[in-house]
Amino acid sequence: DGGITQSPKYLFRKEGQNVTLSCEQNLNHDAMYWYRQDPGQGLRLIYYSQIVNDFQKGDIAEGYSVSREKKESFPLTVTSAQKNPTAFYLCASSQMYSNQPQHFGDGTRLSIL
Amino acid sequence: GENVEQHPSTLSVQEGDSAVIKCTYSDSASNYFPWYKQELGKRPQLIIDIRSNVGEKKDQRIAVTLNKTAKHFSLHITETQPEDSAVYFCAASKNSGTYKYIFGTGTRLKVLA
């Protein structure tokens, strides 16, 4: 879906380093989500946000942090506390009424140097 | 906790045959069931969804059926083509105020030419 942009496409993290993944949407969606996908596995929810300046932990929030200062933007920081960060990270957004579909960005592949 | 089981994990079919993927959910309050197709290294894309007030929905070669009593739903692809080869994910959500998805673990479909 062209309305969600994730950057960068590939990212490398050094030991002890924090890195930030960008997610921007122009769909005017209220809700935004971050998922982690490991090879051959499903999508696990890291954090989600339903409104500006508010967000909630998902199932695997440890070692990650987020912010929601603008409706359009929901960046994810992978901190040095996340000991196994190598994965494919997907951002999604949706409307916030009556179960609307989530639309995904193209993802960021994070690897450790 | 809430759970969605998806079977099979891999499925190989001959071109032109049908493919069926099944998901079972645990939370009886779930009322929205999307299906996503994900090609290698790309974003998941919504291919069809169904809400709990209907039992079946069809879109060309793709259909989804829902059995609320048994708490399972299935994806049916008829006349499969090589371009249908991908990983398919089911999900379930409910009107809980968060609209979080619970994803299945995915099915890798291979259509053999």
pLDDT tens by residue, A46-93: 999 999 999 999 999 999 999 999 999 999 999 998 889 999 999 999
DSSP code at position B70: T
Q: How many CB atoms lie within 10 A of CB B95?
A: 13
Phi-psi region of B3 (alpha: psi -120 to 50; beta: other; left: phi over 0): beta
Cβ contact, residue pair B103, A43, below 8 Å: yes
In the three-class reduction of DSSP (H, G, I as helix; E, B as strand; rest coil), residue B86 is classed as strand
Coil/strand/helix, residue B71: coil
Judging contacts by C-beta atoms under 8 Å, the chain B residues touching residue A101 are: 34, 46, 49
Question: Residue B100 pLDDT more than 70?
Answer: yes
Cβ contacts of A109 on chain B, cutoff 8 Å: 41
Smallest Cα–Cα separation from A76: which of A2, A4, A24? A24
State residue A98's pLDDT score: 65
